[in-house]
Amino acid sequence: MQEERELLEALHDAVLVGNIQKARKIAEQVVQRGLSINGALEKMKEAMRAVDEKYERKEYFIVDVASAASAMREAFKILEPYLQVEPAKVVGKVVIGSLKGNVQGLGKDIVAATLRAAGLDVVDLGVDVSPNAFVNAAVKEKAQIIAISISIEETVPLLKEVVNLIRKRRLSDKVKTIIGGQAVSKETCKEYDIDAYAKDACECVKKVKGLLNRFVGD
């Protein structure tokens, strides 16, 4: 639908330039018109990827990145209650965070909200989370899943430390790992012996349900 496409493009542009008021207003229109919430979220993530690229090319400064992030966060607050996800039939707890060195947490915020909307118990550790902090939190919270967001390629090797800590503490049968973010892929899973990879928030819900089902089957 042309009208929907134009509105979502306008949302993309509002986030890109960090126009908080406009981003909020468009998010409200998305809800009022019953348009795709997931479509709106994807457009905002697309805008943030463009912001990252502009920052890398030195076309944007930290202040521009912060403005764009604020615009997305404000729009997301309006959209979050309307996230539509199939409820998880399995009960489970997830600890989620952006791996050490990753300070952009917007993608992770969307995934955390989508997991909660599916009825899962989610503990958000925030950004710049060390491998040790992930594993300690999983033990403390009695979580079955560690979900790790990674958008900076240089930080990917830290996954090895997460996996080693899980093995060292004999948690392999109790805790499963899932990764997502622009710096990782299915190949990363194989390379670092991670249990699952999700390309977006909705896929993360499906994959987490699948990992939790393994415990039910054990």
Residue 94 has φ and ψ, to the nearest 5°, of -125, 130
pLDDT tens string 168-215: 999 999 999 999 998 999 999 999 999 999 998 889 999 999 999 887
Does a structural domain hold residue 188?
Answer: yes
User: Residues 62, 130: one domain?
Assistant: no
Last residue of a domain, one of 82, 101, 122: 82
Which residues, in sequence order, are bridge partners of residue 65? none
Residue 91's pLDDT band, with cuts at 50, 70 and 90, is confident
User: Residues 143, 68: one domain?
Assistant: no
pTM, to two decimals: 0.75
Rounded CA-CA distance 141/138 in Å is: 5
For residue 37, what are the domain limits?
2-82
Rounded CA-CA distance 25/127 in Å is: 28
Does a structural domain hold residue 75?
Answer: yes
Share of the chain above pLDDT 70, in %: 95
pLDDT of 90? 66
User: Residues 197, 115: one domain?
Assistant: yes
CB 198 within 8 A of CB 178: yes
Average pLDDT, the chain: 90
User: Residues 165, 204: one domain?
Assistant: yes
pLDDT of 134? 98
Does a structural domain hold residue 87?
Answer: no
Does a structural domain hold residue 88?
Answer: no
Instruction: Report the candidate in 207, 192, 140, 127 with the shortest Cα–Cα distance to residue 171.
Output: 140
pLDDT tens string 33-76: 999 888 898 898 889 888 878 887 899 987 888 888 889 889 98
User: Residues 15, 61: one domain?
Assistant: yes
Does a structural domain hold residue 113?
Answer: yes
Does a structural domain hold residue 207?
Answer: yes
* Dihedral sign (CA 79, 60, 200, 90): negative
pLDDT of 25? 96
Rounded CA-CA distance 171/28 in Å is: 44
User: Residues 181, 129: one domain?
Assistant: yes
User: Residues 113, 207: one domain?
Assistant: yes
